[in-house]
Structure formats: structure tokens, C-alpha cells
Amino acid sequence: MAISLKINGVALSVPAEPDTPLLYVLRNDLELNGAKFGCGLAQCGACTVLVDGVATRSCVTPISRIGEAEVTTIEGLGTAEKPHALQKTFIEEQAAQCGYCINGMIMAAADLIKKNPRPSETDVRTALAGNLCRCGTHNRIVRAVMRAAQANGRI
């Protein structure tokens, strides 16, 4: 059956079963490969996207649960010409090593900064505690998020 979704500002219809995880639709049907498959069990955060602005683990979110909500993936957060502040500071801080976790880190941080535009370092560490990075670039990731928050949209 066809499911209607709104992704990165575009309304579209996807032929998929209602219980299909959003992550599978993003990656397999729409070629939006920014969100990553890590654990598939809501335990690593690599698949995080925003659903109406809220960080959501797309690997365990059936598309039938999205309804009218707006999905934003990292591809819709900014562009190469006009990156989101977080995308810019992650590059400036060289926060990625292998990069596998970075989508989830940025999307979770985007949710945090929207709710709390002036987070403390503790706030950032707490917000990202459930996002795993096997490369151990945590300190650079935290610095990148703090810089983006401090820039407050001026980047």
C-alpha cells in the first residue's frame, strides 16, 4: 500500500507496508542515506531523525506512526552551500572519525539546541549520552555542539 509522508519539506507517497521502519524507507526507497543503521534496536542513535522537531530513532518507528508529522533528515537540515550551524561546527572541529554516529549526534543536538538554545556542557553530554560513538570523538563532538549553540544562528 502507499503511505503518505512529508520529508524535508516534500510531500510524497511511498509504496510500503505500514509497519516498515522509517529508516528503511529513508534509505531503501528515498536514497536518503544520512541516517545510519547501527543496532536496529533503538540503542545507538545512529538512525536519529527529527519528527516534528523531536529527535526520533527511525529504526524502531513504523511509518504508520508518522501521520501528518514532518520528518527532517540530516539532508534537510542544511545544504552544502548553506549548512546548518551544527554541520558547520562539526566540520570545523573535525568531530567525525569514521562518521557513522555523526548523523545521530547532529540530529540529537539539533533537538537539544531548539529546546535549550544555551545548553551547558553537562546539558550537551546528557542529551547525547544515548548516542554511541565507537571512535571516541566525544570531546570534539561536544565542542562542536557548544560552538553551534554559542553561535546562536549567526554561523
Binding site for ligand FES (CB under 6 A): 37-40, 42-47, 57, 59, 96-102, 133-135, 137
Nearer of residues 6 and 37 to ligand FES, judged by Cβ:
37
CA atoms within 13 A on the CB side of 26: 30
Nearer of residues 85 and 133 to ligand FES, judged by Cβ:
133
CB of 56 to ligand FES, least distance (A): 10
CB of 137 to ligand FES, least distance (A): 5
**Roughly how many angstroms between the first and final C-alpha of the chain, as a whole number?**
43
In this structure, the chain runs to a length of: 155
- State how far the Cα of 37 lies from the Cα of 97, in Å rounded to an integer: 17
Nearer of residues 83 and 100 to ligand FES, judged by Cβ:
100
Q: Which of 28, 90, 77 is nearest to 49 (CA)?
A: 77
The neighbour count for residue 94, using CB atoms within 10 Å, is: 10
CB of 61 to ligand FES, least distance (A): 9
CB of 141 to ligand FES, least distance (A): 8
Nearer of residues 5 and 137 to ligand FES, judged by Cβ:
137
φ, ψ of residue 116 to 5 degrees: the values are -140, 85
